[in-house]
Amino acid sequence: MPIDDRILTEDGLAPTGKGRVLIIGCGALAHEILALKRINGWAHLDLQCLPAKLHLYPEKITDAVAEAVDRHRGDYARIFVAYADCGTGGRLQAKCDALGVEMIAGPHCYSFFEGNDAFSARADDDMTAYFLTDFLVRQFDAFVWKPMGLDRHPDLRDMYFGNYTKLVYQAQTEDADLTAKARDCARRLGLDFERRFTGYGDLQVAMADL
């Protein structure tokens, strides 16, 4: 899977630079990372996104991150990895430790958006919850409906989602259109709907520390 080698700011492409911080992040977080940069005036941060579809192949995330770190570490004073464990079974954390770079704590983005402590505290109540973020609501068909084959075989819904009871939309922004779309996603999956405004959660905390 090709890696996008561009370095992004909210204004487009930007050169690398000594003394700056590079965030190597999941493409599913690009909108949120650039929004936080813009809102807080964090002009010293640059961003390289890896393809969001790596989440469909979590076994490839660790090598992709390591390749990006090796490629750019000579150009930056600090590199930060905007991934949680994301299904790598601890391998990403071990690789980041070996490379001497930091990453976001937590098992996945649903946890750090809500706040890892808050997410853990609700684990029992959310045992049968299916989560969507702003990104996944926007890209529901591309990342959920079609890859699972539900567009071709709707009868698979019960196999995939029969043990879920609710869809929890973790909203990073106040957007009525996204909320309506998330509600429709719940309807299509046959699940109850719950909206939680999380904002940027521990992602914002981690970026502030940079």
Task: Give the end of a domain, one of 85, 103, 121.
Answer: 103
SS3 assignment, position 202:
helix
Does one domain contain both 89 and 117?
no
> Residue 11: its pLDDT value, please?
44
> Residue 19: its pLDDT value, please?
72
How many angstroms separate the CA atoms of 38 and 23, rounded?
15
Distance of CA 42 to the CA centre of its chain: 20
Q: Which domain holds residue 16?
A: 8-103
Is position 207 within any domain?
Answer: no
Is position 135 within any domain?
Answer: yes
Q: pLDDT tens, 27-58? A: 999 999 999 999 999 999 999 999 999 988 99
- Amino acid in the structure at residue 124: D
**Phi, psi (deg, nearest 5) at residue 18:** -60, 145
Is position 59 within any domain?
Answer: yes
The per-residue DSSP string of 179-201 comes to: HHHHHHHHHHHT-EEEEEE-TTH
> Residue 53: its pLDDT value, please?
93
Task: Give the end of a domain, one of 84, 103, 122.
Answer: 103
Find all residues with CB under 8 Å of 12, minimum gap 6, and list them.
Answer: none
Is position 119 within any domain?
Answer: yes
If one counts the domains in the chain, the total is 2
Q: Which residues of the chain, if any, have pLDDT below 70?
A: 1-18
What count of residues does the chain have? 210
Is position 210 within any domain?
Answer: no
How many angstroms separate the CA atoms of 208 and 210, rounded?
5
Does one domain contain both 31 and 94?
yes
Q: pLDDT tens, 188-205? A: 999 999 999 999 999 999
Degrees, nearest 5: CA angle 179-109-12? 80
Is position 83 within any domain?
Answer: yes
Is position 168 within any domain?
Answer: yes
Of 90, 182, 172, 167, the closest CA to residue 128 belongs to: 167
* pTM (2 d.p.): 0.88
Task: Give the end of a domain, one of 55, 77, 103.
Answer: 103
